[in-house]
Amino acid sequence: MAIKKLSLTINAFDASELLDDLISEIRDQVDHVAAIWQAKSYWGNPMDEVDMEELHKLKKMGLIDELIEFKPNFAKYSREQECDKRNMGIDLMKQNGSSHILNIDADEFYDADQFRYAKYKINKSGYNITYWSYVNYYRDFEHYLVYPFRPFVQGIHSTYFKYQ
């Protein structure tokens, strides 16, 4: 299935200082950007006002098209709430006509050339879902975690698929 309309949804709560660089790198390659934010964390901690101000600034700059509030259900375990939040993004982007979605966290970075190539491969091969290997940096780009396995994260996928 070729990508007809690609939406980027960002799981936003903290680390908003990273979003300008993150979005700017691939903004010209996505059709729609939505930041799905929440006033309280999955454990009830409040969102820092600085993070919300940054989201509004990025929307005003045109990097973000839409701010969508997610209201956590504290009766559910945090992992279930995260799936609900990501699935809400998939449903809303499907409603806006998106054929594909990339649902990411605020600290996930993509290289523009690699992203462009991934889209090319998806379109050429008709992939409905992709998984990408990643490097988990901390502190700076000199420090990263070394796993005894190769970690993967879900990449661009059809809006047909949901999280469980």
- Domains of the chain and any CATH numbers: 6-158 (3.90.550.10)
Q: How many CB atoms lie within 10 A of CB 85?
A: 23
pTM: 0.91
**pLDDT tens column, 13-28:** 999 999 999 999 999 9
* CA end-to-end distance (rounded Å), the chain: 22
**pLDDT tens column, 51-63:** 999 999 999 999 9
Enclosing H/E stretch for 6: strand 6-12
Is there a contact between 90 and 101 (Cβ–Cβ < 8 Å)?
yes
